[in-house]
Chain A
Amino acid sequence: MPEIKLRKRIITVEEIFHEGGPVSPAPLRRAAVLAVIHNPFAGKYIAEIGGFMDDLKPLGMEMAKSLLHALGGDPKIIEGYGKGTIVGQNGELEHGALWHVPGGYAMREILGGAKAIVPSTKKVGGPGTRLDVPVTHINASYVRSHFDSMEVGLADAPRANEVVLALVMTTGPRIHARVGGLKASEIKGEDGLR
């Protein structure tokens, strides 16, 4: 069981008041937490990597909690979420996939059993690579007003032997959402889709 070697942690909070339209009384907030960790599998092909998902669980939980804290601490105000990874150049895309379970389940757990799949993206890249983390509604993936994304990244990571792990939460729809589709008020909340 490789230990988690954390080099950096980043928390970014965006408050969006308007985007050229009416100023919202309650700004949309989006927040991201990033952890830069050593990639224990960098530089070689290792067949069995799945055990690292369990190793990542405490970090995932800690990141989800700090993200919620950055948004005020009340799970009831969180409406959207997403996750992603950037793998340094000595790693492979599959290493990024190790984040699906520990990252996703941590957020769903602290949000009280959110129903929708946590949308995700991943890539291999060098220091400064940016990642557009997709965001959808936490209980119904088809809620159109909550299709969103947040760009994340940092200047000095991932180095070749590192992985950047990302979680994102948001507090509402796009600031001037008006293209129809399923509304948050119409969620049935049974299948995580509608």
Chain B
Amino acid sequence: MTSKIRKIVTFLEETHTEMGRSVNPPTRRAAAAAVIENPFAGKYVEDLTELAEIGQVLGSLLTERALATLGIPGPSVESYGKAAAVGENGELEHAAAILHPKLGAPVRKLLGKGAALIPSSKKRGGPGVSLDIPLGHKDAAFVRSHFDGMEIRVNDAPRANEILVAIALTDSGRPLPRVGGLTKDQIQGQDGLR
């Protein structure tokens, strides 16, 4: 598996002020992305199990990288998201096979919890295509202050036969949240929604 990874890229974003107002402590988001070879590029393959297995490996590897980038233990993560961009010789279903069947379990194991659905997005594109990774609170999807997104891109990926896979983690919500809704101190944490 590791020999098929061409690149790993990590991103850390800290917001210190917004509209001239101090954000203290700064809100922080991290993303870790891997550029991998697409074993099914250029042909239709019915059984996508191999990609699901890759997803499981990446779920663990990218979560570890993003946690290290934030420098916090897993349980301190507040929101998360995942996304993939498939190079032009692949199909959208390849991204689905990586992201959905097996990627989530190792993510949740490293975070200690994660009752909420991991929000996701996927697309097909060329090198440098942007990924807007959706973000939601890891224990209660309805926490409105944590509805967010993080844009990343890797200028030379995905090449035609590659897939760019990313996981984003945060230790916070938006910088100055003030549109109401469920707040994080109201989380019940039972059903992943509230």
Interface positions of A (Cβ within 8 A of B): 5-20, 23, 70, 130, 151, 154-155
Query: In whole angstroms, what is the CA distance A162 to B110 when docked?
Result: 38
CB distance from B22 to the nearest CB of A (A): 10
Chain A residues lying within 8 Å of B93, measured Cβ to Cβ, are none
Interface positions of B (Cβ within 8 A of A): 2-3, 5-18, 20, 26, 69, 128, 130, 151, 154-155
Q: Are B3 and A9 in contact (CB under 8 A)?
A: no
Chain B residues lying within 8 Å of A155, measured Cβ to Cβ, are 130, 151
CB distance from B165 to the nearest CB of A (A): 14
Chain B residues lying within 8 Å of A11, measured Cβ to Cβ, are 10-12, 69
> A12 with B15: in contact, given A17-B5, A17-B6, A151-B155 (CB under 8 Å)?
no
Q: Are A7 and B16 in contact (CB under 8 A)?
A: yes
Query: In whole angstroms, what is the CA distance A6 to B23 when docked?
Result: 11
Chain B interface SS verdict (over half): strand
The 10 closest A-B pairs by CB, nearest first: A151-B155, A155-B151, A11-B12, A15-B8, A9-B14, A13-B10, A14-B9, A6-B16, A7-B17, A12-B11
CB distance from A19 to the nearest CB of B (A): 7
In this complex, what residue of A is CB-closest to B28?
Answer: A9
Chain B residues lying within 8 Å of A8, measured Cβ to Cβ, are 13-16
Chain A residues lying within 8 Å of B3, measured Cβ to Cβ, are 17, 23
Which of A8, A23, A130 lies at the interface centre, i.e. has the most chain B CB atoms within 10 A of its CB?
A8
Q: Are B6 and A12 in contact (CB under 8 A)?
A: no
Query: In whole angstroms, what is the CA distance A175 to B132 when docked?
Result: 28
Chain B residues lying within 8 Å of A17, measured Cβ to Cβ, are 2-3, 5-8
Chain B residues lying within 8 Å of A16, measured Cβ to Cβ, are 6-7
> A7 with B15: in contact, given A23-B3, A155-B151 (CB under 8 Å)?
yes
Q: Are A15 and B12 in contact (CB under 8 A)?
A: no
Q: Are B17 and A15 in contact (CB under 8 A)?
A: no
